[in-house]
Amino acid sequence: MTYAFDPLVPRPIDRPTEVPLDGDLTPERSRALDEAKIFAAPDDPADRPAWRRRLHAWREDARRRHAYSGAVYDRPEAAWAARCHTVAQVWLWDELLYSFDEHRFTPDRFLTDARERFGGLDAVVLWHAYPVIGIDDRNQWDFYRDVPGLADLVADLHEAGLRVFVDYNPWDVGTRRTGDDIAELAALVAELGADGVFLDTLKKAEPELVTQLERARPGIVLEGESKLPVERIEDHASSWAQFFADSPVPGVLRAHWYERRHMQHHVRRWHRDHTEELQSAWLNGVGVMVWEVVFGVWVGWSRRDAATVRRMVTVQRAVGDLLLEGTWTPLAELAPGAEAAGVHASRWKLGDWTLWTVVNRREEDYAGPVVDGPVIDLFGDGVVPARGIAALLRVAPGAPEPTWLPGLQAALREMPHDPDPRFPHRLAVRTQPPATTGEPDPDAVVVPAGPYVLTVRYRARETGMYQGAPYVDEWKPLPPRLHDARTLQRDGELATPVAVAASEVTNREFAEFLDATGYRPAEPNRFLAHWSGGRPVPGTEDHPVTFVDLDDARAYCAWRGGRLPTEDEWQLAGETGRLRRGEPAVWNWTESEHSDGRTRFVMLKGGCDHRADGADWYFDGGRRGPEHSAKLLLPGLGLARGATVGFRCAWDVRS
């Protein structure tokens, strides 16, 4: 059997572009180089001088053809972007950033972890809506504006010295409309004081969007998800280098070569070995996207890669002037033997100082000379570590050392290379349901004790399902490996029979619970938001209660002497055909909460009448059979409460 593509191999559009060295740089050849992600480097060192000359010629020609001015990089408010080397994409409800127990954001905990493992961050993207959006009619702006204390979180991150990006989802066309997207985004940027906008699924912003955002926040930085067209480097100060495959001998990033102040962030979200990205970033003087939780999936960085980031950005922050203003020589000539050992370097020269950023492509340390003549080994390793980096500095004879050198050397002494490349696995741990004490409803569906086997249907999303990542070391998963229908098998054993309520809890029943107990949630945001004056709206008393979160549902079930059914119990009862659905149909909470220490999720059952159309990125909608499960990442601060999720109770049947 053959496959149309191998997901572990870069696609043609991911690969670097060969730079023709024979003949002239014709207009056709120059325009073809405009389309590169990375300019592939020649294997033969003898070809490197001609290669560098061709890159210089292309840049001069491309800037002339596109009437490049560089004005966007002269904005003082946006100068930070050129030195923004590490950005973390973080889900608002990442358990490092948010405490579900305390119902508050914990930026200090998040930043401490980033500082200890990655040397700190320069910016964060606060990811908010996907993959939850579409579960009801809330739009992408609601998933920011409904968050209590979000402006305070942004202020805390600013106080810590970070820049903050918000996320724009242009594909969100199937939720409620509250106004023009451009106006909404501009208003949000102004309200939060955001420094940048991440352009989800886009390479670039349309000119009107650029103008409106600049008006709302002078100096706003726009960063797209993929290869930025060369003509738009003019008005986009940053871009992702996502799924950019390098050549065997490391090449040059086209956008950063075109404009040194244009910051790029290497990212391969599903890879477990980030060596190639890090080495490309180090040789090109650019940054990386540190993304350890991809839409609820743990893809944490190895100790080796985290240590490399820590060492790399510590140097980059200290030598920023060299990287931005110095003369850059990619693939500089090295001492005999270094290149044969898989060692390559860029040279950066500014006045009396010369820096070499060095990489080792091989699996063995290189202990020989890298360049001729005396140099200062900034890391003090004495070698270029296997699959690692080095930094060498030369100060011209008689010239003063840089003022930043002593502090940098002191910091780097505390940052040794770590050779451990192992992936740091995490397991999602299930919250165990409590024992029940009450009697089930007379018409409850009783699931017998004993072993069971279930076929579960689900839609393949980037969230995965229970354990592990849905994609490992893959280059940009595409349909049919994304959004297609799949099945999994679940098996287990019920120690006792379980009775699952035939009907969902209604607004009337939940009101009786409140009257009897005085229950009030610890976090009231969005609680029973569809009621009026603390009571169900007349005519909806027998509708399934919604705008309740997992804890609200658990509290009601405990009052009834029961608990929520697990997703397996719900399916076993549903397959009897005796579970009733209320009107309108709503998803059902189940006792399936899991946490791996970074993300909390549950499995929803039953489907709902609501469906968001217009994009495959939305949460599942429509009524579903009992075999269907949908994984929901749990938001905090009341955002898990919505119009399309209710619940029913379950009881352990006593003998």
CA 211 to chain centre: 27
Above pLDDT 90, what percent of the chain? 98
Q: How confident is the model at residue 654 (pLDDT cuts 50, 70, 90)?
A: confident
Mean pLDDT, residues 390-415: 97
Contact between 302 and 273 under an 8 Å Cβ cutoff? The reply is yes
Task: State the angle between helix axes of 405-413 and 303-318 in degrees (0 to 180), rounded to the nearest 10.
Answer: 170
- How does DSSP assign 227-274, residue by residue? PPPGGGGGT-SEEEEET-PPPSS--EEHHHHH-TT-EEEEE-TT-S--
- CB count in 10 Å sphere of residue 439: 14
Task: Return d(Cα 138, Cα 642) in angstroms, integer.
Answer: 9
> How many contiguous H segments (helices) and E segments (strands) does the chain have?
15, 30
What pLDDT is stored for residue 480 in this prediction? 85
Task: Return d(Cα 169, Cα 156) in angstroms, integer.
Answer: 25
Nearest of 617, 618, 498 to residue 567 by alpha carbon? 498
Mean pLDDT, residues 195-211: 97
- pLDDT for 385 beyond 80: yes
Contact between 244 and 225 under an 8 Å Cβ cutoff? The reply is no
Task: Return d(Cα 397, Cα 416) in angstroms, integer.
Answer: 29
What pLDDT is stored for residue 435 in this prediction? 93
Nearest of 639, 644, 599, 546 to residue 150 by alpha carbon? 639
According to DSSP, residue 506 is labeled B
Task: Return d(Cα 91, Cα 127) in angstroms, integer.
Answer: 5
- pLDDT for 4 beyond 80: no
Mean pLDDT, residues 102-113: 98
Can you read off the two tokens belonging to residue 119? Answer: 């040397």
Mean pLDDT, residues 400-407: 98
Task: Return d(Cα 297, Cα 427) in angstroms, integer.
Answer: 10
Nearest of 404, 415, 349 to residue 380 by alpha carbon? 415
What pLDDT is stored for residue 3 in this prediction? 57
Can you read off the two tokens belonging to residue 415? Answer: 């940052």
Locate the domains of the chain by residue range: 73-291, 303-422, 425-655
Please, what CATH class does the domain formed by 303-422 belong to? mainly beta
- pLDDT for 1 beyond 50: no
Residue 357 is which amino acid?
T
Please, what CATH class does the domain formed by 73-291 belong to? alpha beta
pLDDT (tens digit per residue) in 486-539: 999 999 999 999 999 999 999 999 999 999 999 999 999 999 999 999 999 999
Above pLDDT 70, what percent of the chain? 99
Task: Return d(Cα 541, Cα 531) in angstroms, integer.
Answer: 10
Q: Which helix (H) or strand (E) holds 266?
A: strand 263-267
What three-state secondary structure class fits 376? strand
Q: What is the mean pLDDT of the chain?
A: 97
**Tokens 């490349």 sit at which residue?**
421
Mean pLDDT, residues 106-133: 98
List the single range of 5-9, 283-287, 348-352, 636-640 with lowest mean pLDDT: 5-9
What pLDDT is stored for residue 2 in this prediction? 54
pLDDT (tens digit per residue) in 531-566: 999 999 999 999 999 999 999 999 999 999 999 999
Task: Collect all residues with Cβ–Cβ distance below 8 Å to 376 and sequence separation of at least 6.
Answer: 392, 393, 394, 395, 405
**Four-residue CA torsion sign, 176, 195, 127, 595:** negative
**CATH code of the region 425-655:** 3.90.1580
